[in-house]
């Protein structure tokens, strides 16, 4: 990367390396589309670079994800709604491998993560983006979703189980 | 799979996995779940899978091709 001279270039590169994964997956969670997420990722870091003065501030992460969300909304294409089935927790767990003896190694998990997120419904993607990718608190996530704490925790748990099921799906026909 | 071990069933442990990860449990529940998981290989295995998944989200990187395209785009400017 040659965007800025010397130390600034290194600082920017460090920042990109540290945050690109979460920015990409947040954008993927918003768009549900890997190529739209890739566009949003690039737009986000170009915008970060244009506003380089704000690097590393206390509110940097919140600012970064705000940029990422706007970029993702701009690059979002028409979405096919995924109906959210009202399955029991046990059924969701079993699809996710609860009680099964198959393994999912870390490398495979990471390789398949983007594709699995893209297969989820918008509600699942949104709660995962807020709580697990942007690492907002449960309270902040609940406020952003307009849900109670309990409903937020329940939605998050179910979204994680559906994601685990998608990650497992290529071996087990989901 | 829904055994009662330590005074709590597998299905209840499944329902509480998010709280376990957050450390958001009352002492009595924590003790029962700890006992259950110590005696239940399925819940232990699934608990690890669940924690690994959340950790993967929180430390995710981009696929190599996406990283290369980003690098190229930032270089062009
Ligand atoms: Zn159990």
End position of a domain, from candidates A77, A107, A130: A77
- Residue A78 clears pLDDT 80, i.e. is over it: no
The domain boundary, picked from A19, A45, A77, lies at A77
Please indicate, yes or no, if residue A82 is contained in any of the structural domains: no
Q: Which residues, listed in sequence order, are joined to residue B5 by a DSSP beta bridge?
A: B8
Residue A2: per-residue pLDDT: 42
pLDDT given for residue B24 in this prediction? 87
Residue A80 distance to chain B (closest CA, Å) = 24
Go through A88-117 and write b for each residue having 16 or more CB atoms within 10 A of its CB, e for each that does not: ebbebbbbbbbbbeeebeeeebbebbbebb
DSSP string for A60-83 = HHHHHHHHHHHHHHHH----PPPP
**Domain coordinates in residue numbering, chain B:** 4-76
In this model, does residue A15 exceed pLDDT 70? yes
Is residue A97 domain-shared with residue A165, that is, in the same domain?
Answer: yes
Residues A94, A71 share a domain: no
Number of domains into which chain A is organized: 2
Tell me whether B10 touches chain A (CB under 8 Å).
yes
Please, what is the average pLDDT of chain A? 87
CATH of the domain at A28: 1.10.1740.10
Report the 10 Å Cβ neighbour count for A41: 30
Query: What is the value of pTM for the model shown?
Result: 0.89
Predicted confidence (pLDDT) at residue A95 exceeds the cutoff of 70: yes
Task: Provide the phi-psi class of A65: left if phi over 0, else alpha when psi is between -120 and 50, else beta.
Answer: alpha
How large is the average pLDDT for residues B1-20? 94
Q: What is the rounded CA–CA span in Å between residue A167 and residue A157?
A: 15
**For residue B23, how far is its CA from the centre of ligand 1 (angstroms)?**
19
pLDDT per residue as tens digits for the range A58-69: 588 888 999 999
Tell me, yes or no, whether A7 lies in a domain: yes
- In this structure, what CATH number is given to the domain that contains residue A151? 1.10.10.10
| B8 Cα to the center of ligand 1, angstroms | 8
Task: Break chain A down into helix, strand, coil percent, rounded to 5.
Answer: 70, 0, 30
> Higher model confidence: residue A101 or residue B33?
B33
Question: For chain B, what is the mean pLDDT?
Answer: 93
At B1, is the pLDDT very low, low, confident or very high (cuts 50, 70, 90)? confident
In Å, how far is A66's CA from the nearest CA of chain B? 17
CB-CB neighbors (< 8 A) of B10 in chain A: 98-99
Percentage of chain B with pLDDT > 70? 97
A160 close to B (CB below 8 A) = yes
Using the 3D structure, point to which of A77, A111, A133 is the last residue of a domain. A77
Query: CA-to-CA distance for A13 and A7, rounded, in angstroms?
Result: 10
Are residues A107 and A167 both part of a single domain? yes
Q: What is the arithmetic mean of pLDDT over B38-49?
A: 95
Same domain, A54 and A121: no
Residues A126, A57 share a domain: no
- Domain of residue A149: give its range: 89-171
Same domain, A121 and A61: no
Distance, CA A120 to ligand 1 centroid (Å)? 27
């Amino acid at each position: 990367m040659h965007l800025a001279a010397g130390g600034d270039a290194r600082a920017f590169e460090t920042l990109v390396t540290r945050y690109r994964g979460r920015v990409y997956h947040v954008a993927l969670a918003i768009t549900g589309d890997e190529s739209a997420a890739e566009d949003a990722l690039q737009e986000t870091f170009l915008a970060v670079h244009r506003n380089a003065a704000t690097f590393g501030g206390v509110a940097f992460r919140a600012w970064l994800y705000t940029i990422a969300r706007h970029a993702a909304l701009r690059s979002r294409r028409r979405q096919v709604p995924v109906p959210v089935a009202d399955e029991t927790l046990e059924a969701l767990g079993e699809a996710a491998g609860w009680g099964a003896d198959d393994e999912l190694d870390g490398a495979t998990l990471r390789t398949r993560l983007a594709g699995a997120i893209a297969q989820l419904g918008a509600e699942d993607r949104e709660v995962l983006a807020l709580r697990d990718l942007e690492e907002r608190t449960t309270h902040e996530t609940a406020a952003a979703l307009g849900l109670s704490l309990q409903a937020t925790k329940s939605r998050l748990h179910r979204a994680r189980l559906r994601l685990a099921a998608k990650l497992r799906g290529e071996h087990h026909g989901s | 799979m829904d055994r009662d071990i330590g005074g709590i069933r597998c299905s209840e442990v499944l329902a509480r996995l998010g709280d376990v990860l957050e450390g958001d449990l009352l002492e009595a529940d924590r003790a029962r779940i700890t006992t259950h998981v110590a005696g239940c290989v399925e819940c232990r295995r699934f608990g690890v899978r669940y924690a690994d998944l959340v950790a993967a989200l929180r430390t995710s990187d981009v696929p190599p091709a996406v990283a290369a395209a980003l690098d190229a785009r930032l270089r062009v400017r």
